[in-house]
Structure 1
Amino acid sequence: MAAKANQHFVPQYYFRFFVGDTKCIDLINLSSGRLIEQASIKGQASKKYFYGDEAMEDNLTTLETLFRQPLRKLKQNKTFSCLDYEEVIIALQGITFQRSRTQAARLDHKVIAQQWAEMFKEISINNCDQFSEDERVELMESVSVEPNIEALQLTLMVQAVKQGALLGDLGMVILKNRTSRPFIFGDAPVVFQNFFQKNIIDRGVLGLRTPGLQIYFPLDSRTAIYLYDPNAYNVKANKLGQVEVRSKDDVDKLNRLQVHNSSSAVYLPSKDSAGYVLQLWRESRREQFISKGRIDEYSVKHEGQTRHILLNYEAQLSYVPDLTFSSCSSLAASDDLLIDREAWDGRRYIPDPRPWHMPELRQRFD
């Protein structure tokens, strides 16, 4: 078991997408801005027994092997047309799986899980008639609760794989970096954002079916996956589904997303990019990880009584950039309630959408 104690939440094969057979990589610590040179890849984006025992690690390795194949084909061929329908679905599942498995994802969910645990503790104590009011107060102060965040994350990872196909209606392009600046990556390389709904701050807008969703996932310093809602953004790709990114400003924005999204480190594909990435870190004012996990409480009147409603969701990053290659003509209003892309055509929301079976996606790749 000791041989599998060091468990990676970003697989080593993904590091090799950027540095080839090199066993070391340079990185920048996000809390201090310190440059660390020639760090062993084996020790990166990993923790001791992060997921659990040897059997769990074996299961995750099996999934990694499955998801690696279509991602490698995309990196090599730089077009989604190289994949058949089943491979596209596996690639989408690999993207959602990678997003769900990181230390950053665990920290995001830990905030929500802890608040829910505290709430259930309060309910349990207050609903127990055998305690006096003084005893309830004492118990609330003395009893501590801590959720099993590792088990929760594993559940969410399973759910992420099952629901990955829900991204099948998104536009799918490969970004080809034509600038002198590299795409960098962090320890949470899959980034979700929603520029179309950037003004919505009181509920989640990063769900797999949410209108306006954008997903960015670099595959090497010159290549990246970009998924987007075609009803919200205008992306001009060539016949192979490729977008030539020639704006350094766009590359900077995508790299800042990696800085903001990761929990502890970003990685440098080349030694000569250290000064550039350090400047991004300074401009991002990134000195601590800010959890995206949120719980909002609302009070409503019902049958003469005040009821409390708790809404938990994942907030957007504090940095939500506008990308020139993915223009958005208008933004959703703060009072718009846009939940499911299937019910939204870019102009109006249909209350009763038709069942969703992804026929368009199968036609595109069969």
Structure 2
Amino acid sequence: MAEQTSVETGRWLERLPIARDRPALAVAAMLAICVVALAVRFAADPWLTSGFPYVTFFPAVIISSFLFGVRIGGAAGVICGMLSWYFFIGERDAFTVNLTAMIALGFYCVVVGTDIVIIHWLQRANGHLAREREVSRALAHTRELLFRELQHRVSNNLQVAAGLLTLQKRGVADEGARHALDEASRRLALIGRISRQLYNAEGATRTMREFLEPLCADVVDASGRKGIRCTVNAAADALLAPDAAIPLALIVAEAVANAIEHGFAGRDEGSIDVELVREGEQLVRLEVRDDGHGLPEGFDIEASGSLGLRIAAMLARQLNGSFELIGGDGATARLRLPA
């Protein structure tokens, strides 16, 4: 609440001085302020000595300068000075000319002039800040548009490459080669989607939860299994370097796809839990757990025929981490990476 109030106050100050396009209104308001200052000074006169001729006129000049700018403030200074000289310096209802009156008027001019100059400088600085803020806002908007365009083009280029591989498959008769082209096309398309999800519209890296949830949802949707439920739990302090995001996403995608294809073979329903937590000071652990059929006896990633799992293990080694599959009630794909 306090921050919002401060922002609203700052925006109001940026509009000062007001009524710049309506000088007649500004002059009328300034004259009204001077009249009020004179009336208050007359009302307070019985309680004030002759040493306070400007006590209500200083605020009038400051308020006029603050609200309507240096010119209107200067005019208020002249009017208030003449009123105080005529009514409250020397003889009443006369412009007294003597040394005491001149010293008092000189003091008034110095104080009022200083106030007006300071207010003018503050308003000029405030105006410069407001213009700089608008320029910064425009640059930020332009950067956001360029970043979105870059993301869009990178993703589209990868999608085009995936489409070219799909077209190339039509001229290949060997079933193994066709399957390899299908897998390559799928992975390129996946990298394209990952690159689009890695950053938000402002160019900041998304949190791991924001990053992993749509990724897992895409893999589940691509499988066509409507009964598969995938939940993501990512600790706020389980952070990774941005360069590790795409390899991590590929590993997670392979683990989720493997759980759907093999763990839930012959089943339309199943549950997959993706958890990313900090493990000690130096490691981050990611687990993809399913409640499927589990692993066959003596399963080994390197000896298996799954290219996706071997790619996952290779990517983990490139990130100075480890990847393993653990059996039990269902299967657990466990990835450990440096934090």
Greater gyration radius: 2
Higher strand share: 1
Task: Place the TM-score, normalised by the shorter chain, in its bin.
Answer: under 0.3
Higher helix share: 2
Tell me: higher relative CO, structure 1 or 2? Use CA pairs within 8 A at least 6 residues apart. Answer: 1
> What's the TM-score once normalised by structure 2's chain length?
0.23
